[in-house]
């Protein structure tokens, strides 16, 4: 038995952007391990082969995630424009690329998906789950979500989707909501997919003893501290 002590790690590498650098990946993962991390969620897209290989070599487990949006877009130029045409092939490519890795312990079909609370959601979820299981039946399939902060009504889109999944990564839920989900879905497993966020501005330092919550939209005063003492409004820990 192992307790997963994970982080959501985006694919960009600071000033390097999205270009893959094996050395930068190893450096990043070493920093994660130094703070006790033993698992990574690839938020919110498939990882590079170099990232998977580095996790194998360093003994880090992986929740490999496919999408940050399905059909309904979050921003104007996001993946939602291509979802209906490309999602099947992209998902299959993700699973084939990482299915033989001993680091991979779960697959995720999405993060905070707007469609998951609409009538369009369950058929899409069914298709994505079937795509994964056609290739790999050995690992659980989950989703990261901010749409289960109360127990779904029977037959609702959220209820239908959760019945299909093996488990659920809940984002910023409180303890009582988790208890309610456990009671309603005793055969599913739940984990805290996201619980805390901070923002910072490079080279700008505020009083380290002052904890700030929320965003400052005042023109000219939008800097946040490099001390990581600016917490977002949705933070739960």
pLDDT for 38 equals 98
Residue 160: both structure tokens together: 């239908």
pLDDT tens sequence across 113-145: 999 999 999 999 999 999 999 999 999 999 999
Q: Give, in order, the Cα–Cα distances in Å from 2 to each of 5, 61, 170, 205.
A: 9, 11, 20, 38
Q: Which of 56, 112, 192, 215 is catalytic?
A: 112
CA 126 – CA 141 distance, rounded (Å): 11
pLDDT tens sequence across 44-71: 999 999 999 999 999 999 999 999 999 9
Q: Are 126 and 82 within 8 A, CB to CB?
A: no
pLDDT for 215 equals 66
pLDDT for 216 equals 67
Return the closest-CA partner of residue 194 out of 237, 227, 225. Answer: 237
CA 3 – CA 98 distance, rounded (Å): 22
Which region holds residue 178: left if phi is over 0, alpha if psi is between -120 and 50, else beta?
alpha
What is the dihedral angle through the alpha carbons of 220, 225, 231, 233, rounded to the nearest 10 degrees?
0
1 is catalytic: no
Sign of CA dihedral 127, 129, 131, 137: negative
pLDDT tens sequence across 67-77: 999 999 999 99
CA 144 – CA 111 distance, rounded (Å): 4
- Start-to-end CA distance of the chain, whole Å, equals 25
* Pairing label, strands 6-8, 39-41: parallel
215 is catalytic: no
Q: Which of 57, 65, 194, 215 is catalytic?
A: 194
170: helix, strand or coil:
strand
Q: Are 125 and 67 within 8 A, CB to CB?
A: no
Q: Average of pLDDT values for 100-109?
A: 99
Residues 77, 235, 66, CA angle at the centre, nearest 5°?
Answer: 40
Q: Average of pLDDT values for 173-184?
A: 94
Q: What mean pLDDT, rounded, does the chain reach?
A: 93
Residue 233: both structure tokens together: 């409004």
CATH topology of domain 6-195: TIM Barrel (3.20.20)
pLDDT for 180 equals 97
Examine the pLDDT at 225 and tell me if it is beyond 70: yes
User: 150 CB contacts (<8 Å, ≥6 apart)?
Assistant: 177, 180
Q: Would the pTM of this model clear 0.95, i.e. be above it?
A: no
Return the closest-CA partner of residue 183 out of 158, 150, 144, 145. Answer: 150
Q: Average of pLDDT values for 205-223?
A: 74
Q: At residue 23, what are phi and psi to the nearest 5 degrees?
A: -65, -40
CA 168 – CA 6 distance, rounded (Å): 15
pLDDT tens sequence across 144-159: 999 999 999 999 999 9
């Amino acid at each position: 038995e192992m307790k997963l002590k994970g982080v959501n790690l985006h694919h960009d590498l600071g000033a390097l952007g999205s270009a893959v650098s094996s050395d930068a990946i190893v450096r990043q993962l070493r920093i994660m391990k130094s703070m006790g991390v033993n698992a990574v969620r690839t938020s919110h897209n498939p990882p590079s082969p170099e990232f998977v290989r580095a996790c194998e070599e360093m003994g880090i487990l992986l929740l490999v995630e496919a999408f940050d949006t399905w059909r309904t877009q979050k921003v104007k130029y996001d993946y939602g424009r291509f979802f209906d045409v490309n999602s099947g092939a992209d998902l299959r490519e993700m699973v084939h690329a990482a299915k033989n890795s001993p680091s991979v312990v779960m697959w995720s079909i999405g993060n905070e998906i707007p469609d998951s609370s609409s009538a369009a959601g369950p058929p899409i979820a069914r298709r994505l789950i079937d795509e994964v299981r056609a290739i790999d039946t050995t690992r659980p399939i989950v989703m990261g979500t901010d749409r289960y902060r109360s127990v779904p009504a029977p037959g609702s889109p959220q209820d239908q989707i959760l019945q299909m999944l093996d488990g659920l990564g809940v984002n910023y839920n409180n303890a009582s909501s988790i208890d309610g989900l456990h009671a309603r879905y005793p055969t599913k497993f739940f984990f805290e997919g996201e619980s805390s966020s901070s923002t910072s501005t490079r080279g700008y330092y505020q009083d380290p003893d002052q904890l700030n919550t929320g965003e400052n939209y005042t023109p000219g005063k939008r800097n946040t501290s490099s001390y990581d003492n600016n917490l977002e409004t949705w933070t739960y820990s």
